Amino acid sequence: MLLILARHGNTFGPEDTPVWVGANEDLPLVEKGLEQSRAMGEALRSLNQLPDRILAGPLKRTRHGARLVGEVCGFTGEVEIDERLKEIDYGVWGGKTDAEITESWGESAIADWRDRSIPPTGAGWSPTVETLKSNARSVLDSVSRDRSEDTVVFILTSNGVLRYFHELLAGQDAPTEDAKVKTGHMVAVRITADSRELLGWNLSPDAFVEALRS
């Protein structure tokens, strides 16, 4: 089977000040984010990789993005909303800029998360790391039960959640600084009865198409 994971598109426009957007910041996609969603759908359509299932987290940016991907690639089923794919609640960091967080927590706290996937202590993040890891494992197990060669599953979620799929798919020795997935970018994994092959991580839609055609 082909498993595709992706991060939703942009929730900030060029005139907006980006802030940390977690489970409590249920922002919609801006125009660029809508374009990114359509581009992912176009990538699937150009490869003739019509998903058998599409799953998404429950927030606006993932629900709407997944539906757009499905519309563009020709998917006619229902998008499955899965609470296990809901973005992390960033606690007191939610809705704050990097500058505001740095003032209270220091630059190292942000670097620990972005480069090493280490959440800050005492910031009220939830769920726990153990729960996030368990959710990633259970989602992966549930979607990969049908490992037929022509099965395609597409999952749209958020950056924080995707980090917990990275170790599962890239291996325990994979550099943690590679775990980030940019907005509108994709992950491709080939799963057979006895193996998982990571075809690409953090791929733009164009790079995704190249990876699968090579």
CA–CA dist 3, 103 (Å, integer) = 40
**47 part of a folded domain:** yes
**119 part of a folded domain:** no
**42 part of a folded domain:** yes
CA–CA dist 21, 11 (Å, integer) = 9
Domain count, the chain: 1
Domain boundaries, position 163: 2-88+126-213
**106 part of a folded domain:** no
**50 part of a folded domain:** yes
| Bridge partner list, 156 | 6, 56
User: What does the pLDDT profile of the chain (214 residues) look like in tens digits?
Assistant: 999 999 999 999 999 999 999 999 999 999 999 999 999 999 999 999 999 999 999 999 999 999 999 999 999 999 999 999 999 999 999 999 999 999 999 999 999 999 999 999 999 999 999 999 999 999 999 999 999 999 999 999 999 999 999 989 998 889 999 999 999 999 999 999 888 999 999 999 999 999 999 8
Residue 192 CB contacts under 8 Å (≥ 6 apart), including other chains: 1, 147, 149
pLDDT for 172: 84
How are the residues of the chain apportioned to helix, strand and coil, as percentages rounded to the nearest 5?
45, 15, 40
Biggest CA pair distance of the chain: 51
Any idea what the CATH number is for the domain that residue 187 is in? 3.40.50.1240
pLDDT for 194: 86
| Phi, psi dihedral angles at 45 (to 5 degrees) | -65, -40
- In the numeric block, the tokens 């609640």 are attached to 89
- In the numeric block, the tokens 């509108």 are attached to 184
**107 part of a folded domain:** no
**116 part of a folded domain:** no
- Tokens for 141, please give them: 């197990």
Prediction pTM value: 0.97
**145 part of a folded domain:** yes
